[in-house]
């Protein structure tokens, strides 16, 4: 039997304090009732002796110290799930907002997930095709990987996320089930509408589960949205044996919500005001990606974060880089040159790429082509630096070829339209065409047999 308490001892931002509590549990869900009939829910985030600090999901507006009824439910936050969630849109706390009614739940799962025994994890192999050459060719996304996108304010990460949702697949020769879980945190209404409209018009919405937390929604909801999305992904992957790609945008909003709630609790801040447990909170999200032994499904993550002031040493991208397996970096200079997507390939990498590409996965020449494109593009930077000092006319013929290669690489390999969906073979062939602009003896990162088989002089 649950006990109902009348009154609160303190209200502070999104937090309330309840005294005289018995048998309360950490992360327990709490229900509130006000005199005007309004109902709200919250969760216990701190317990000290007989006091419980509770986060109120919908905010503390119209709650009073004297007339608020509080009931402890005795259970953690859960979400009802079934295959009906595919094609549906939910708010930041898992309630349907698409007007299609409630789903018929097969199971209710704790949104904090269950810890994965490291021994039961399988090493990620095979790739997910995004149709974007800079990702598929040079920073390949592997099933079960967590590969973040580091962006900045004003850069087109929303367009890139929408394009990945529309184009992502397991490859043309795969018949396995594939779906996408998309979670947006703290986005403006027009951005949320852009995602919703884009997915519907492209026909992608049938295999997408959307969780939308808007900028005007309570801050506390932002802390739940990615956990709800990942719980839905784990259910589809490990219970329904589907391959799931999870896109989380924007992780920076999640971290700032954490900082705001931490400040309300009076906790001692760490770097730039973020709580000291920022690393462990991010790890609890990112480490829910992976493949489990004995299950055919997988959870792959693409968290997107905007770096404040384009600072890659900021705590959010810094800690994210420690946990994840690489990064895709968007570049403001390329964006200024009208290159889309403006992916700077030199600081970008995929640490698991080597084990999910090549013969049997993509094509035998994939790793060699990627290595050579990286090497040649790095030399483009050297040639441009030299040209800025002595002038382009004074460069050697080889350096001038590198400048031409760099321009073509940015416009034709990195650059593509928002609706252009390139196969992995088309991406690799395009890479060979660009490498054909350079003398054969310059291509020192490619095996001789592969070079003889694929190299041809480009007619440019």
* Model pLDDT for residues 377-395, shown as the tens digit of each residue: 999 999 999 999 998 888 8
Residue 459 resides in a domain: no
Provide the 10 A C-beta neighbour count for residue 383: 21
Three-state SS at 399? helix
Q: What pLDDT sits at residue 402?
A: 95
Domain end residue (candidates: 355, 379, 412): 355
Confidence band of 219 (pLDDT split at 50, 70, 90): confident
Q: Kindly compute the dihedral angle of the four CA atoms of residues 138, 143, 149, 155, in this order, to the nearest 10 degrees.
A: 80
Residue 460 resides in a domain: no
Q: What proportion of the chain, given as a percentage, has pLDDT over 70?
A: 99
Q: What pLDDT sits at residue 109?
A: 94
Mean pLDDT of 138-161: 96
Q: Are residues 426 and 304 in the same domain?
A: no
Q: Are residues 104 and 164 in the same domain?
A: yes
Sign of the CA dihedral running 425, 430, 436, 442:
negative
pLDDT score of 193 more than 90? yes
Domain end residue (candidates: 76, 101, 131): 76
Q: Are residues 311 and 401 in the same domain?
A: no
Residue 47 resides in a domain: yes
pLDDT score of 454 more than 60? yes
Which residues in 3-14 are b (16+ Cβ under 10 Å) and which e?
A: eebeebeeeebb
pLDDT score of 415 more than 60? yes
Residue 388 resides in a domain: yes
* Model pLDDT for residues 224-279, shown as the tens digit of each residue: 999 999 999 999 999 999 999 999 998 999 999 999 989 988 889 999 999 999 99
Q: What pLDDT sits at residue 460?
A: 66
Q: How far is CA 5 from the centre of its chain?
A: 40
Q: Are residues 305 and 427 in the same domain?
A: no
Provide the 10 A C-beta neighbour count for residue 390: 9
Residue 237 resides in a domain: yes
Residue 260 resides in a domain: yes
Sign of the CA dihedral running 220, 223, 226, 231:
negative
Residue 241: left (phi > 0), alpha (psi -120 to 50), or beta? Answer: left
Q: Are residues 401 and 314 in the same domain?
A: no
Q: Are residues 404 and 427 in the same domain?
A: yes
**Tokens (6 digits) for 196:** 């919703």
Q: Are residues 24 and 162 in the same domain?
A: no
Q: What pLDDT sits at residue 58?
A: 81
Q: Are residues 29 and 163 in the same domain?
A: no
Q: What pLDDT sits at residue 1?
A: 55
* Model pLDDT for residues 320-344, shown as the tens digit of each residue: 999 999 999 999 999 999 999 999 9
pLDDT score of 67 more than 90? no
For 140, residues 6+ apart whose C-beta sits below 8 A from its C-beta are 127, 350, 353, 356, 357, 362, 366, 370
Provide the 10 A C-beta neighbour count for residue 403: 16
Domain count, the chain: 3
Higher pLDDT, 251 or 27: 251
Q: What pLDDT sits at residue 285?
A: 95
Residue 360 resides in a domain: no
Confidence band of 178 (pLDDT split at 50, 70, 90): very high
Q: What pLDDT sits at residue 457?
A: 86
Q: What pLDDT sits at residue 220?
A: 86
Domain carrying residue 268? 79-355
Q: What pLDDT sits at residue 203?
A: 87
Residue at token pair 């999305």: 229
For 322, residues 6+ apart whose C-beta sits below 8 A from its C-beta are 279
Q: Are residues 234 and 313 in the same domain?
A: yes
pLDDT score of 410 more than 80? yes
Q: Are residues 217 and 103 in the same domain?
A: yes
Q: H or E stretch including 280?
A: helix 278-286
Q: Are residues 14 and 50 in the same domain?
A: yes
Q: Are residues 86 and 144 in the same domain?
A: yes
Question: What CATH number did the domain enclosing 107 receive?
Answer: 3.40.50.12240
Residue 230 resides in a domain: yes
Higher pLDDT, 74 or 163: 163
Mean pLDDT of 151-169: 95
pLDDT score of 166 more than 90? yes
Q: What pLDDT sits at residue 393?
A: 87
Domain end residue (candidates: 321, 355, 389): 355
Question: What CATH number did the domain enclosing 36 receive?
Answer: 2.40.30.20
Q: Taking each helix axis from N to C terminus, what angle separates 278-286 and 219-234, rounded to the nearest 10 degrees?
A: 30
The answer to whether the beta carbons of residues 53 and 17 sit under 8 Å apart is yes
**Cα dist from 46 to 70, 150, 265, whole Å:** 16, 33, 9
Q: Is 216 exposed, middle or buried (0-12, 13-18, 19+ CB in 10 A)?
A: exposed
């Amino acid at each position: 039997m649950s006990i109902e308490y009348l009154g609160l001892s303190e209200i502070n931002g999104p937090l309330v304090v309840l005294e005289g509590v018995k048998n309360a549990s950490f992360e327990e869900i709490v229900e509130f009732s006000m005199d005007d009939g309004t109902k709200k829910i919250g969760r216990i985030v701190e317990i000290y002796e007989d006091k419980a600090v509770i986060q109120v999901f919908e905010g503390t507006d119209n709650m009073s110290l004297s007339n608020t009824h509080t009931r402890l439910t005795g259970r953690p936050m859960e979400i009802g799930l079934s295959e009906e969630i595919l094609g549906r849109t939910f708010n930041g706390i898992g309630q349907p907002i698409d007007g299609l009614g409630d789903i018929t739940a097969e199971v209710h799962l704790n949104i904090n997930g269950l810890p994965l025994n490291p021994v039961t994890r399988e090493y990620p192999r095979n790739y997910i095709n995004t149709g974007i050459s800079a990702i598929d060719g040079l920073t390949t996304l592997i099933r079960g990987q967590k590969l973040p996108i580091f962006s900045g304010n004003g850069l087109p990460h929303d367009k890139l996320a929408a394009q990945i949702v529309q184009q992502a697949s397991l490859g043309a020769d795969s018949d396995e089930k594939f779906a996408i879980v998309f979670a947006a945190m703290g986005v403006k209404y027009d951005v949320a509408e852009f995602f919703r409209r884009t997915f519907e018009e492209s026909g992608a919405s049938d295999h997408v589960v959307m969780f939308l937390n808007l900028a005007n929604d309570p801050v506390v909801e932002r802390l739940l949205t990615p956990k709800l999305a990942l719980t839905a992904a784990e259910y589809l992957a490990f219970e329904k044996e589907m391959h799931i790609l999870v896109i989380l945008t924007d992780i920076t909003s999640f971290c700032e919500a954490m900082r705001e709630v931490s400040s309300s609790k009076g906790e001692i801040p760490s770097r730039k005001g973020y709580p000291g447990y920022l690393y462990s909170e991010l790890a609890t999200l990112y480490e829910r990606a992976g493949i489990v032994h004995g299950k055919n499904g997988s959870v792959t993550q693409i968290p997107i974060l905007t770096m404040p002031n384009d600072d890659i040493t900021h705590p959010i991208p810094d800690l994210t880089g420690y946990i994840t397996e690489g990064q895709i970096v968007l570049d403001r200079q390329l964006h200024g040159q009208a290159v889309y997507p403006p992916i700077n390939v030199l600081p970008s990498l995929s640490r698991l790429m080597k084990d999910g590409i090549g013969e049997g996965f993509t094509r035998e020449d994939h790793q060699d082509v990627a290595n050579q494109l990286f090497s040649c593009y790095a030399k483009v930077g050297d040639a441009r630096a030299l040209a800025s000092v002595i002038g382009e006319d004074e460069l050697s013929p080889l350096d001038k070829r590198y400048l031409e290669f760099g321009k073509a690489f940015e416009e034709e390999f990195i650059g593509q339209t928002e609706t252009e969906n390139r196969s992995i073979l088309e991406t690799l062939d395009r890479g060979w065409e660009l490498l054909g602009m350079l003398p054969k003896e310059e291509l020192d990162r490619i095996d001789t047999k592969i070079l003889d088989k694929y190299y041809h002089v480009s007619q440019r």
